[in-house]
Amino acid sequence: MDEAGMLPGVPHLRSLADVAQLVEALSPLYVRFSAGPVADAATASRDHESGCLLPGLSVNPLTPEPWWDRQPEHWLARQLCQYAHLLAPDRYPWVLTGEIAGRGPDCEPLLVDTTPIASIDRSVVDEAADLYERVFRQGATS
């Protein structure tokens, strides 16, 4: 990974439309906020609260569920915003695929046999946050 969060040999997505296009072409896809696939392969994932070893990498689905009846970009904005708090100078969002080995403590998929597909520019997370704020009722319970 270079300092801009780009993975060598895979596309660097610079807009929500780019992410939507990739998700439409390949499925299922997931997003992970971390130091990247090389760093993730060198460490074991753990549940921070319990300390339990997780059987895979914690990810968020980018592929919309079949019941989703809104624009794919709305789904992507919601999914990217879920873990945007994990952005840090040494962490960035990247797209991957793999096999689901279980579910984490927040019912998130845990992936094994992962393949990096693309990196996502940090500006896309800002774009997603703007869209999320415009089209969702944040914190609504009914």
Q: Could you list the beta-strand ranges (E) of the chain.
A: 12-13, 30-34, 57-58, 60-61, 92-103, 109-120
Helical residues (DSSP H) of 26-100, grouped into ranges: 37-41, 72-82
Closest to 122 in 3D by CA, of 90, 87, 96: 87
Residue range 76-129, pLDDT digits in tens: 999 999 888 888 889 999 999 999 999 999 999 999 999 999 999 999 999 999
* pTM score: 0.91
pLDDT for position 9: 87
pLDDT tens figures, 5-34 = 677 889 999 999 999 999 999 999 999 999
CA angle 142, 140, 132 (to 5 degrees): 130
Pairing state between β 12-13 and 109-120: parallel
